[in-house]
Amino acid sequence: MIETEQISKRYPGGHQALKNVSLSIQEGEMVFLTGHSGAGKSTLMKLIGGIERATSGSVAINGTKISNLTRSALPYLRRNFGFVFQDNKLLLDRSVFHNVALPLLISGFSKSEITTRVRAALDKVGLLEKEGLSPVTLSGGEQQRLCIARAVVNKPAILLADEPTGNLDPGYAADIVSMFRAFNRVGVTVVIATHDPAMIQGLGARIISLKQGELQE
């Protein structure tokens, strides 16, 4: 369960990205976080994932307040999460396989477990046949699928996706949304930030709206 209580975020220079945001997202829920560019969606995702800290208020994951954790404990919390960001940060000098394997290498998995998990993740997103290729050779949609494989290879409980279809044509975007729905059906909590209303039409998922850093009721 994700809970935020009166969280605000002010960046150096005075920009107020979020103001007194309180919300809860249940385990296994699929939620769309909507709002115009600059509404605070990305900031909220980073606070939920423990990438940034709130200026005030609290964020709790399954009852554990992120603000109470030491810096050394944060990486263990983040293992609960898979992250898909618009700037995908793929390693262009490594293969498709090694891009997905990286989180497992960092976590100290055995070579055999890494191979099993990476190939399973690539198979789920339809890229198994391209495991030996460079990400440079992939289309935009395939690169985003690669990011999803990397995000889920750790078998996270929570998947956070920030504008995952922002640079894709409608066909590729629909494929990406279908993948998120499939992970949600097997119990993964999915939170997707988007300013594209077409992405959420007909899905029946809960929608949380932000405007200028505040929740819209």
Residue 139 lies in a domain: yes
Residue 130 lies in a domain: yes
Three-state SS string over the chain comes to CEEEEEEEEECCCCCEEEEEEEEEECCCCEEEEECCCCCCHHHHHHHHCCCCCCCEEEEEECCEEHHHCCCCCHHHHHCCEEEECCCCCCCCCCCHHHHHHHHHHHHCCCHHHHHHHHHHHHHHCCCHHHCCCCHHHCCHHHHHHHHHHHHHCCCCCEEEEECCCCCCCHHHHHHHHHHHHHHHHCCCEEEEEECCHHHHCCCCCEEEEEECCEEEC
pLDDT at site 107: 84
The range of the structural domain enclosing residue 123 comes to: 90-155
Residue 122 lies in a domain: yes
Interaxial angle between packed helices 170-185 and 140-152, expressed in degrees from 0 to 180 and rounded to the nearest 10: 10
Residue 112 lies in a domain: yes
Residue 128 lies in a domain: yes
Structure tokens of 81? Answer: 């999460």
Residue 120 lies in a domain: yes
pTM listed for this prediction: 0.90
* Beta carbons within 10 angstroms of residue 94's beta carbon: 14
pLDDT at site 9: 96
- 100 vs 40, 105, 110, 117, 209, CA distance in Å? 29, 10, 14, 9, 32
Sign, Cα dihedral of 34, 53, 149, 186 = negative
10 - beta bridge partners? 16
Domains: count for the chain: 1
pLDDT at site 217: 63
Residue 136 lies in a domain: yes
pLDDT tens, residue by residue, 103-145: 899 888 999 999 999 999 999 999 999 999 999 999 988 998 9
Residues 6+ apart with CB under 8 A from 183: 152, 159, 190
Residue 72 lies in a domain: no
Quick one: which of 117, 80, 73, 88 has its CA closest to 191?
Answer: 80
pLDDT at site 61: 93
Beta 158-162 vs 189-194: how paired, if at all? parallel
Low pLDDT (below 70) residues in the chain: 202, 217
Pair 142, 165: CB distance under 8 Å: no
